[in-house]
Amino acid sequence: MPLKNGSGDIVAIPFLGGGISIADSDVNPLISTGVDVPLGEDFTVTNRVNVSFGDDETDVGLLVGVGYNFTLF
């Protein structure tokens, strides 16, 4: 659910998801969480943390990026 300010503008969109990670023929569960922050109509900043749970280890990854927003239809 988007977080909005007092005037109704979206200021952040948090997310949480799950999936699998595959490395060296090992398949492990993965949790991904983060937040997208719109920078006007054209750009969005994203921050994400991925955590994969293996048999002997836990891997953590961090992603920080900027995306361009466009409409296909």
pLDDT value of position 64: 97
pTM of the model: 0.78
* Beta strands per DSSP E along the chain: 3-4, 10-23, 26-39, 43-53, 58-68
In the chain, domain spans: 3-68
Rounded CA gap, 58 and 54, in Å? 6
- Four-way CATH pick for 3-68: 1.10.287, 2.60.40, 3.30.1300, 1.10.510: 3.30.1300
pLDDT digits 0-9 by tens, 43-71:
999 999 999 998 888 999 999 999 999 98
pLDDT digits 0-9 by tens, 9-51:
889 999 999 999 998 888 999 999 999 999 988 999 999 999 9
